[in-house]
Structure 1
């Protein structure tokens, strides 16, 4: 598969997921909130661009630590500016660790 095809496919997946999330919100709010196609496309584009930034940061963090593998700690480092997200990810990390220890 070409890189362009994979990138376009990724954008399509993001757009589909964003539209489903917006549909769910609209349904939960009993159509009090309406998302236009333009709004959904804009949210999808922002999500795509933000994912590119995060992926680049993750690569840089791993390279800085002289690793070829991205670790959970790199992901936590990306979330450092959002305390609630960082806490959520820390809890998720602990849950993963405890479930792998239970096996």
Structure 2
């Protein structure tokens, strides 16, 4: 029974991904006066789904290797290690968010 629920969740996620990919492809095609077949959108969706599964497995492995049960930004940055430009952008984003968070916490403490 729980397995059926899991399968249903996966199907709903895959359907949502298919819809999102279809919307992106349609927008791109309309801006370039092109057409894409439903088969193309389906194949692209399968490709993206496979990549998401691979990323999820890698993130879980990194987290487990570090002895954690939760994926952290360090795991995501480690995943991006083979794309230095992406890793730099993501690292800067993480640092900015940490600084904003620290600033907000400092303001909240000052009010107390």
TM range (shorter): 0.7 to 0.9
How far does residue 100 in structure 1 lie from its aligned partner after superposition?
A: 1.6
- TM, length-normalised to structure 2: 0.81
The unaligned stretches of length 5 or more in structure 1 are: none
Secondary structure at the residue paired with 1:80? Answer: helix
Equivalenced residues, count: 101
Distance 1:90 1:28, change over 3 A: farther
Q: Which has the higher contact order (CA 8 A, sep 6+)?
A: 1
More helix by share: 2
Q: Runs of 4+ in structure 1 displaced over 4 angstroms?
A: none
Higher radius of gyration, 1 or 2:
2
2:27 aligns with one of 17, 24, 28 = 24
The unaligned stretches of length 5 or more in structure 2 are: 105-112
Supply the RMSD in Å over aligned alpha carbons: 1.5
- TM, length-normalised to structure 1: 0.87
Q: Which residue of 1 aligns with 2:14?
A: 11
